[in-house]
Chain A
Amino acid sequence: MLDKQEIRRLILRTAARDEGSAEAFERLYRRCAPLLLGVAQHIVQRRELAEEVLHDAFTKIWLGAESFDPLAAQPFAWMAAIVRNRAIDVCSSHDVSRVASYHGTLDDDTEGTLERLLDWSPAADESEDGRRALQWLRDCLARLAAAERQALVLAYHHGLSHSELASHLRKPLGTAKTWLRRGMASLRDCVEARMGGAR
């Protein structure tokens, strides 16, 4: 389990660019690189490409640490977003014909994917708000229509574009877009309703 405060501290120390910044950055890398490489590999599907993504992302983390928001609720999510975006860009620029290979490798067992790839146990240092938010997200994901949930999970975990998603699901492009958009909107409405109820 990654310690949120520790990660925040290491990012801020990296940003300071003083003696000791390199140690902080190295510790940040040792802590987070394995999970981030896993995230990249789910998107680009190839180990050597995933390591390229990891390298590029950590270069960006080093250079961009000063723009990190010290108040961000989830410091790891800041890094994961950099990795995901880089992985998605690499896929488009390598013109990786992923959909063909995906039919064989992507599992369509969305429920299993949700349980296996996501961690729903609250972190030891998680605040009460954080615990509740995680539970709400889990409940609300379970309440989505199955097709919407599958579209969300495929897009998020494998970085599929709208057209890749349509091709994978063998549905028209418009349908895939609608599922995603409606899925995210329902998810938000559902979590917001619980947030409102808790206040």
Chain B
Amino acid sequence: MITPPLVRRNTPQRYRMEAYQCTKCGKIFFPGRLVCDRCKHREFEMVTLPEEGKVITHTVIRTPPTGFSDLSPYCVGIVEMANGVRILCQIADCEPETLAVGLPVTLEFRRVQEDGESGVLAYGYKAVPAR
């Protein structure tokens, strides 16, 4: 779903990778939470995720959902960032044959979705391997 309030509310995470770290046990959450699932503490401080990471699992989507056909087939993976936090995102500019567990990637700002021809654009992060 891409609607103006949804896009706006997700902007700090999608544009600036804002994560939140529990001030008691140090676990980092992306996106942030109201309560730490490890120690139940309720205070956090903002940290930015690093832009470097590595692929820990991956796939190639060949039957895309609505709105994703232009890039099909495209790579998707779970990426472990340099600070240990894991995210899921597309792996862009990547030939499917080169996908591998351990592939180092860097996050780039990309247009992730659009609400049809006239709706708002939803930007966010994708992981890109070195050229």
The answer to whether A binds B is no
Binding site for B on A (CB under 8 A): none
Binding site for A on B (CB under 8 A): none
